[in-house]
Structure 1
């Protein structure tokens, strides 16, 4: 019987980090199912889901945790299959605004109030092309709850966008 493990990883960025984890997983017959990883501020961080035979799961967890001796900190987050298909419609949000504190707080508040789940979120601050001022950009894949009309969500986001002086585009 297959067990699915979800774990987080963080380490000082350097070549070979993914290889070390993949080596441990493959060495025990595990299968790297999905992951999301990025270099942020000199650190390498990510979340990984693997499948492994149930009788090898404990050894995999032990070997992954032993990577801390190499400066790779791994924390087991889940051992549930997690293969349930998400309910509700999907949508995509893009946002651009002059950078200032509170943008993500205000947008995520609207999403939370509407019962929307964020499935993937990427943000960055970049230099604006004309004036050189800092721009905050966000891109998110969303899961809307059953019964929420995407137009209602878009209206709520546009109201907040006006307060933030942001450009928000919601595509369902």
Structure 2
């Protein structure tokens, strides 16, 4: 019987990390299904979803233990059922603001209050092209609850954007 496993991985960034992880999964008979990985602050971090036969999970644990000895930390969440396809409309959010504490908190508060899920989020602080001041940039793929129109969410986000002098674009 196949199991669906989800785990996180973090290690000091270096060449070959994904290959080591992919080899451990393949050698244990697992199938790499989905992942999101990035280099952040000199560390390499990711989340991975695999399918694997229950009988080979002990072999996977042994292989992950070997990776831990190499400084590759893995946190495993096992025996999850594959989630249903998300319901509701998809939308994309882009935000740019002069950097200051609390920007993401203000945006996520609006999303939470409107029961919006974040499916993917990327953030960065970068120098502005003209002024050189630090700009906070965020890009997010969202899933709106059934019945919430993107225009309603857009209005709520624009209200917050005005308070923090940010440029927010919501694309449905």
Distance across 1 between alignment mates of 2:165 and 2:150: 21
| SS at 1:60 equivalent | helix
Residue range with higher mean Cα deviation, 54-63 or 122-131: 54-63
Q: Is 1:33 the counterpart of 2:47 in the alignment? A: no
Give the gaps of 5 or more residues in structure 2: none
Runs of 4+ in 1 over 3 A off after TM superposition: none
Structure 1 residue 52: deviation in Å?
A: 1.0
CA RMSD for the aligned pairs? 1.1
What is the CA-CA distance between 1:67 and the residue it aligns to?
Answer: 1.4
CA displacement at 1:121 relative to structure 2: 0.1
Tell me what 2:17 maps to: 17
In 2: Cα distance, 1:78 partner to 1:133 partner: 44
TM-score by length of 1: 0.96
Residue by residue over 1:84-114, the C-alpha shift from the partner in whole angstroms, topping out at 9 and shown as x without a partner, is 1011111000000111110000000000000
In the TM superposition, what whole-angstrom CA distance separates every residue of 1:119-155 from its partner, at most 9, and x where no partner exists? Answer: 0000001110111111110000000011111111000
Tell me by how many angstroms 1:83 deviates: 3.5
Instruction: Name the CA distance, whole Å, in 1 between partners of 2:65 and 2:90.
Output: 35
Listed as ranges, the gaps of 5+ residues in structure 1 are none
Q: Which residue of 2 aligns with 1:118?
A: 118
TM-score, scaled relative to structure 2 = 0.96
Q: Structure 2 CA distance, aligned partners of 1:78 and 1:131?
A: 48
> Which secondary structure does the structure 1 equivalent of 2:56 belong to?
helix
Aligned residues: 172
